[in-house]
Amino acid sequence: MRSRTVLMLGLLVLAMGLLAAADFWEKKPYAKWSDGEARQLITKSPWCGVYEWSQPYYSERVEKMARVSERDLKTGGTASSHTKKDEELKEQIGFIRVMLYSARPVRQAYAALAAKGDAAKLEKLKDFAEGDFGDEITVAWVFEPKVKGKPPASDLDAELLALTPAELAKDTFLVTDTGRKVALKDYIPPTATGSGAKFIFPRNLPDGTPLLTGSEKTLAFQTKRLQTKQYPMVLEVVFKVADFGFNGTPEY
């Protein structure tokens, strides 16, 4: 009897510890998430990976040089100036956030950010936040420059807007650690919503079996197609499948 009591107390302490350690998205509904919590979910969560991107580029450097004439010196005049243009090698650094946009918690975070606590707006966004993406997995791709630099950032934006699904399908995949993978099904360029470009994949393999069967450890987004004018990019972001749990079910 005593051993059973000790065991029950131990299980209770363990359960309380797990509850305390639970992430905010398991503790409260998305309607009550703060802006900070919603942003955390789309930047640092199991459904968001980050790829650091850098590229050298030449910027125009302008130097101001004082010029004073002999006449100015005699009359006590002030120096005039002219400019000299040169090139300076700089580095553009940015972060590419790759999110599993079809996962409900990611969409709920965007809904919470858009509504800002307004119940009426949340109701309008309910289908988007809670709906099922069916047989598709959507990956959102957002580029955030750390240091502003026009050449690389504008090149990359132009590339994203110009890409077609047919071009991307050759080099863009979702891949598991067990070797199962699916190729890109469709592509949507970036829009004004701020949620980035969308890469759409089938949730099942061509034979109808799910991409994720429950035995996989990782799911990776891979692409070699994205590039700027001078520098090709090989991008891979890996997600841990075991961390996809949300309200008792895996979300991706």
pLDDT, tens only, 184-233: 999 999 887 778 889 999 999 999 999 999 899 999 999 887 655 555 66
pLDDT at 157 over 80: no
Specify the number of domains making up the chain.
Answer: 1
| 118 within domain boundaries | yes
Contact 89, 56 (CB under 8 A): yes
For residue 5, what pLDDT is reported?
41
Please work out, in degrees rounded to the nearest 5, the angle formed at the alpha carbon of residue 57 by the alpha carbons of 86 and 223: 170
| 100 within domain boundaries | yes
For residue 51, what pLDDT is reported?
77
Contact 28, 38 (CB under 8 A): no
pLDDT at 104 over 80: yes
Spell out the residues 6+ positions from residue 128 whose beta carbon is closer than 8 angstroms to its own: 107, 110, 111
| 103 within domain boundaries | yes
Residue 71's pLDDT band (cuts 50, 70, 90): low
Q: Which of residues 21 and 239 earns the better pLDDT score?
A: 239
| Beta pairing, strands 197-202 & 249-250 | unpaired
How many Å apart are CA 184 and CA 169, to the nearest integer?
A: 5
For residue 162, what pLDDT is reported?
80
| 237 within domain boundaries | yes
| 226 within domain boundaries | yes
- Highest mean pLDDT pick, 15-19, 64-68, 190-194, 214-218: 214-218
| 206 within domain boundaries | yes
| 178 within domain boundaries | yes
| 110 within domain boundaries | yes
Q: How many Å from the N-terminal Cα to the C-terminal Cα in the chain?
A: 45
Q: Which domain holds residue 135?
A: 24-58+93-250
Q: Which of residues 66 and 16 earns the better pLDDT score?
A: 66
